[in-house]
Amino acid sequence: MILNTGGRTDTVQYYSEWLLNRFREGYVLSRNPLFPNIVNRIELNPEVLDVVVFCSKDYRPILPRLQEISDRFNCYYHYTITAYGTDIEPRVPSIEESIRTLKALAAQVGPEKIAWRYDPVLLTEKYTIERHLETFDRMARELAPYVDRCIFSFVEMYKKLEVNMPELRPVSEQDKLTLAKRMGAIARQYGLYLQTCATKEDYEQFGIHRSGCMTAEIFSNLGIRFKKTAHKGNRAGCLCMESRGLGDYNSCPNGCRYCYANKDHEKALQNFFTHDPKSPLLLGHLHPDDKIVPSRLESLLSKEPGLFD
């Protein structure tokens, strides 16, 4: 099984102590968002957890103790660094600080285990195509030696964004082609592997690969071999292997205005300030009428001889 620690909130940036506590104690509880009295128990055991995937916008809080997890589990790290400032991502470190932290992460775990995420790509009067390309060029030049690949996708124009970002303008098909063509050229210039994630468009003509961000192929580069199994994905258009998430929605204080995981940024801040790092749940505590349901987990690693040679 693949565990995604950052699909619902930035556990690394804001809940590192809780995350480390859960791995030390060997299990985590996760409340079902549709049936709140149902609580799933996930065993954090190397025998069933094939890969632990991190996704964060700031690894500084966990870097000093990251080996407590990475020494026991196969790990892969997604690091999101975009072109946006605090007007779009209010509590995210600056590009310069983020680049320094990514380099420190690479020094600790190795570039082959890090994917730089440049997403979502969105357009406003301030964040134009040219600004994206200038920023992407500068960042690609700096980051190419320190990452395995770069993953990007275009913003999904769901209804919530009409309220949260009224200045957002649709990214037309021509806009996408222009960006893809020039981003592909920049990536080639710096020897950076560039791919899309969860997009229906195909930009192979520009040297951009169409794939998922958690695939058997990516993990095989780390010597991790999976059984032959279909990539079910985690949502429509997703080409990833199926994964389990932990944590809760409405809990990330970053306040990114394009965020899909927070419906209420004020509620997310409140949840963060009332969080107990000693609780097995990210938010709150168990209630007397809660029903704990063990998650059915199994390793998907191949046992065939010779695959780890």
User: What average pLDDT score do residues 153-181 get?
Assistant: 90
Task: With respect to residue 309, please indicate whether it lies within any of the assigned structural domains.
Answer: no
Residues in the chain: 309
| Total domain count, the chain | 1
Candidates 81, 79, 77, 51; CA nearest to 66 is: 77
Domain residues for the domain of 241 are 2-294
Task: Answer yes or no: is 300 within a domain.
Answer: no
Under DSSP, the state recorded for 25 is: H
Q: Is the pLDDT of residue 308 over 70?
A: no
Is pLDDT of 174 > 60?
yes
Sign of the four-CA dihedral 244, 237, 117, 13: negative
Packed helices 129-143 and 95-109: angle between N→C axes, nearest 10 degrees: 30
In a domain, 302, yes or no: no
Predicted confidence at residue 240, as pLDDT, reads: 78
Q: What is the pLDDT of residues 104-149, one digit of tens each?
A: 999 999 999 999 999 999 999 999 999 999 999 999 999 999 999 9
Identify the band that residue 199 occupies on the pLDDT scale cut at 50, 70 and 90: confident
Determine, yes or no, domain membership for 306: no
- Judged by DSSP in three states, 151 sits in strand
Confidence class for position 42, pLDDT limits 50, 70, 90: very high
Residue 306 — pLDDT band, cuts 50, 70, 90? Answer: very low
What average pLDDT does range 252-280 have in this prediction? 93
**Residue 145 within any structural domain of the chain:** yes
Residue 137 in tokens: 């060029």
Q: What are phi and psi of 41, to 5 degrees?
A: -105, 125
> What is the rounded CA–CA span in Å between residue 196 and residue 54?
18
Asked whether the beta carbons of 64 and 229 are under 8 A apart, the reply is no
- Between the two ends of the chain, the Cα-to-Cα distance in Å is 22
Neighbours of 163 (CB within 10 A): 8
Among all chains, which residue has been given the structure tokens 């080996």? Answer: 67
pLDDT of 236 reads 57
Tell me the three state secondary structure of residue 175. helix
Angle separating helix axes 173-190 and 129-143, nearest 10 degrees: 20
Q: Give Rg (Cα) of the chain.
A: 19
Reply yes or no on whether the pLDDT at 234 is more than 60.
Answer: no
More confident residue, 294 or 163: 294
Q: What is the pLDDT of residues 8-24, one digit of tens each?
A: 999 999 999 999 999 99
pLDDT at 305 over 70: no
In a domain, 287, yes or no: yes
CB 81, CB 118: distance < 8 Å: yes
E strand intervals along 183-223: 194-197, 209-211
Mean pLDDT of the chain: 92
**272 inside domain:** yes
Mean pLDDT of 217-245: 78
305 found inside a domain: no
With contact defined as beta carbons under 8 Å apart, do 127 and 89 qualify?
Answer: no
The CB density around residue 135, as the number of other CB atoms within 10 Å, is 17
For residues 58-81, average pLDDT: 98
pLDDT for res 230: 64
CA distance linking residue 68 with residue 20, whole number of Å = 7
309: confidence class by pLDDT, cuts 50, 70, 90: very low
Q: What percent of the chain has pLDDT over 90?
A: 75
Q: What is the pLDDT of residue 162?
A: 79
Q: How confident is the model at residue 231 (pLDDT cuts 50, 70, 90)?
A: low
- In the predicted structure, residue 235 carries a pLDDT above the cut 60: no
